[in-house]
Structure 1
Amino acid sequence: MSENYSKIVVGTDGSKSSMLAVERAAKIAAAFDATLIIGCAYYENKEEASKTLRQDSVTILGDDTAQQNLADASDNARGAGATKIETTVRAGAPVEALMQIVNDTNADLLVVGNRGINSLTGRLLGSVPADVARQSDCDVMIVHTIA
């Protein structure tokens, strides 16, 4: 494992919280001259979305919404100083999608917001930040985006 980050993954669902995580990840990417990979998960239909009990992430139906979220996040990342930006979408739940992106890209760092980590649902069922922290083989930074 190198001392520098070369590939940084951050997830977005289009929310204000996730955009703060994107901005923080972009600043880190700029500092390390790293590639920032912005990912967005989406559900292909309402039946798939209803299988999840999570309330800590925005439910994104369809690839078009995911692509728009990525375009907005890319603009924010550029504004925060990142120059090497890639985007990717994955069908499925946010945790699984982020883990796929991290593994597919051999990322060194995963950045997520803290939404859901302190909620009752998050404590009972798990939250995206807590679950990715447990499952990830790379460093995970949980950005304090929600008090």
Structure 2
Amino acid sequence: MSDSYKKIVVGTDGSKSSLHAVERAAEIAAAFKATLIIGCAFYETKEEASKTLRQDSVTILGDDPAQENLEKAEKVAQGVGATSIEKVVRPGTPVEALMSIVNENQADLLVVGNRGINSLTGRLLGSVPADVARQSDCDVMIVHTVD
């Protein structure tokens, strides 16, 4: 096991909270000269979105808004010094999307914000940060993005 991060995945949904996580992931990527992979999940249909909807997640319908979120996140990442940046859109829930991006890229670190982790819904149904922390085979950093 190497002691440095080479591939860092971070998810964004365009929210201020998720962009704070992107910023933190980008700082780490810059420090380790690692590749930053920014992912954004989207739902292909309204039915799919309503089936899996959680109160803690922003619903992104279609990959156009997802691409826009990635452009915004890339600017944030570049602003703090990340130079090697890849962007990925993935259909499905945020957890499914992040896990597939992590596994496909054999990422060393996954960075997520803490939104939803302390809400009642988050404690009962699970939240993106808690779910990815349980499922991930790589290190997971939960950034304090929401009080």
Same fold (TM over 0.5): yes
| Partner Cα distance (1:66, 1:83) in 2 | 21
Distance 1:53 1:42 in 2: 12
Equivalents in 1 of 2:24, 2:5: separation in Å? 14
Aligned to 2:27: 27
Aligned to 1:76: 76
SS in 2 for 1:71: helix
**Given the two structures, how large is their TM-score scaled by the length of structure 2?**
0.99
Q: Which range moved further: 131-140 or 46-55?
A: 46-55
Looking at structure 2, the residues matched to 91 and 7 of structure 1 have their Cα atoms a distance apart, in angstroms, of 21
Find the aligned partners of 2:13 and 2:93 in 1 and give their Cα distance.
11
Amino acid in the other structure paired with 1:128: V
Q: Could you say what secondary structure the match of 1:51 adopts?
A: helix
CA-atom RMSD in angstroms: 0.5
- The match for 2:41 is 41
How far apart, in 2, do the equivalents of 1:89 and 1:113 lie? 18
Partner of 1:143: 143
Over 2 Å off, 4+ runs: none
Percent of matched pairs sharing the same residue: 80
Q: How many residues align?
A: 147
- CA-to-aligned-CA distance 1:75-100 (integer Å, 9 cap, x gap): 00000110000000000000010000
Residue 58 of structure 1 pairs with residue 68 of structure 2? no
Tell me which residue corresponds to 1:122. 122
What amino acid is aligned across from residue 27 of structure 1 in structure 2? E
Whether 1:105 aligns to 2:105 is: yes
Aligned residue for 1:86? Answer: 86
Instruction: Give the superposition deviation at 1:53.
Output: 3.8
The unaligned stretches of length 5 or more in structure 1 are: none
Q: Deviations over 1:80-129 (max 9, x none)?
A: 11000000000000001000000000000000000000000000000000
Q: TM-score when scaled to structure 1?
A: 0.99
